């Protein structure tokens, strides 16, 4: 069972030094919590690493600890996984020798499917999932720009674990209360994961295909129509699964997010223009696979999935 002081006293180890990893590392360290970034490479590894957090043009330098995740043997109390979703399980496996019966794993990435797989692989470890609408991008390797403040919901993915839900939620939120990010606890985190997935399905691939900002999708009738179709297909899946997560409509939610992040570039857009692997398999690809199992037609999601896969193949061949 997780001890009452686990979250507050053991500090935070963060896997994934991308935009979201650096954003959370910066905010946690800024309020005095011990933060250690787990890096893959030993090259030029420094024990203390300065992060730059840029907010509204103002840059703050915040020191965090850094170490090699796999080669270190010291125990990890609280682990936040901010890798790409397709890297998460392997990344956790590389440091699982450092996990203890009191460890806590927090998953904070896009997509769906990996969270459930992680809960299956670590059934005795409390696993918290996060769904965030915070906007961030990297200007340089350890320089993160906070592009927009949103809302982050956290909740326990595997409530049948040995840990007590009330203890975990109380201690986790106690550790979060001082940071300058909008954080809430949910006893039904699946709702927020599904709604975030729908928004990502509706916005991310279209911005990557058309090479545009989120808000530009609403100005183009064809893109706006596809956004609606994506959301309606996901609502059909939720109806078949008898999950009451489509009210108010997912399309309305996607519009609200596109308007609220109108000047932002989606993570998939950034991956495509930088010739990086996208999370399309865990976003629209997840919907396509699930629809196939359920016997549901999702032609718009399938079209967007295939278009992004084609772009990735073209980029890889160049």
The residue from 196, 219, 293, 309 that is catalytic is 196
State residue 247's pLDDT score. 85
Q: How confident is the model over 301-315, as pLDDT tens digits?
A: 999 999 999 999 988
**Of the options 3.40.50.720, 3.90.1150.10, 3.30.750.200, 2.40.30.10, the CATH number for the domain spanning 6-187:** 3.40.50.720
CA distances from residue 313 to 210, 212, 306, 310 in whole angstroms, order as listed: 17, 20, 10, 5
Domain 191-311: which CATH class? mainly alpha
Mean pLDDT over residues 259-277, rounded?
Answer: 94
Task: Place 149 in a pLDDT band, splitting at 50, 70 and 90.
Answer: confident
- Domain residue ranges in the chain: 6-187, 191-311
Identify which has the larger pLDDT, 179 or 315. Answer: 179
pLDDT higher than threshold 70 for residue 284: yes
Tell me which residue of 59, 174, 152, 66 sits closest to 108, measured CA to CA: 152
pLDDT higher than threshold 60 for residue 287: yes
Other Cβ atoms within 10 Å of 187 Cβ, number: 10
Task: Classify 42 as helix, strand or coil.
Answer: coil
Is 34 one of the annotated active-site residues of the chain? no
Mean pLDDT, the chain, integer: 91
Distance CA 193, CA 111 (A): 8
Mean pLDDT over residues 123-131, rounded?
Answer: 93
CA distances from residue 302 to 152, 210, 287, 288, 296 in whole angstroms, order as listed: 29, 17, 9, 6, 12
The DSSP letter of residue 293 is: H
Tell me which residue of 70, 123, 76 sits closest to 100, measured CA to CA: 76
Any idea which of 14-28, 30-44, 228-242 has the lowest mean pLDDT?
A: 30-44
Phi (first) and psi of residue 191, to 5 degrees? -60, -45
Identify which has the larger pLDDT, 144 or 45. Answer: 144
Mean pLDDT over residues 290-306, rounded?
Answer: 98
Distance CA 225, CA 232 (A): 11
User: How would you class 235 by CB atoms within 10 Å of its CB: exposed for 0-12, middle for 13-18, buried for 19 or more?
Assistant: middle
Task: Classify 295 as helix, strand or coil.
Answer: coil
Q: Are 280 and 201 in contact (CB under 8 A)?
A: no
């Amino acid at each position: 069972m997780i001890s009452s002081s686990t979250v507050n006293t053991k500090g935070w180890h963060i896997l994934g030094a991308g935009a979201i990893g650096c954003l959370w590392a910066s905010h946690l360290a800024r309020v005095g919590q011990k933060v250690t970034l787990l890096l893959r490479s030993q090259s030029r590894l420094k024990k203390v690493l300065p992060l730059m957090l840029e907010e509204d043009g103002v840059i703050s330098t915040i020191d965090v600890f850094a170490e090699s995740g796999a080669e270190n043997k010291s125990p990890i109390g609280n682990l936040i996984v901010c890798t790409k979703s397709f890297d998460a399980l392997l990344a956790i496996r590389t440091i699982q020798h450092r996990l203890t019966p009191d460890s806590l794993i927090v998953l904070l990435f896009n997509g769906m499917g990996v969270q459930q797989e992680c809960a299956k692989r670590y059934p005795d470890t409390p696993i918290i999932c996060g769904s965030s609408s915070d906007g961030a991008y990297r200007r340089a390797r350890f320089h993160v720009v906070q592009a927009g403040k949103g809302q982050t919901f956290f909740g326990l993915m595997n409530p049948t674990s040995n840990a007590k839900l009330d203890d975990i939620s109380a201690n986790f939120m106690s550790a979060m209360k001082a940071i300058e990010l909008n954080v809430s606890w949910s006893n039904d985190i699946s709702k927020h994961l599904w709604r975030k997935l729908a928004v990502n399905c509706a916005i991310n691939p279209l911005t990557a295909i058309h090479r545009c900002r989120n808000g530009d999708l609403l100005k183009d009738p064809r893109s706006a129509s596809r956004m609606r179709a994506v959301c309606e297909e996901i609502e059909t899946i939720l109806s078949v699964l008898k999950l009451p997560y489509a009210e108010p409509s997912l399309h309305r939610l996607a519009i609200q997010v596109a308007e609220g992040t109108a000047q932002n570039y989606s993570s998939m857009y950034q991956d495509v223009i930088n010739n990086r692997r996208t999370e399309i398999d865990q976003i629209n690809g997840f919907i396509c696979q699930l629809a196939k199992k359920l016997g549901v037609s999702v032609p718009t999601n399938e079209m967007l999935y295939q278009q992004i896969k084609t772009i990735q193949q073209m980029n890889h061949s160049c």
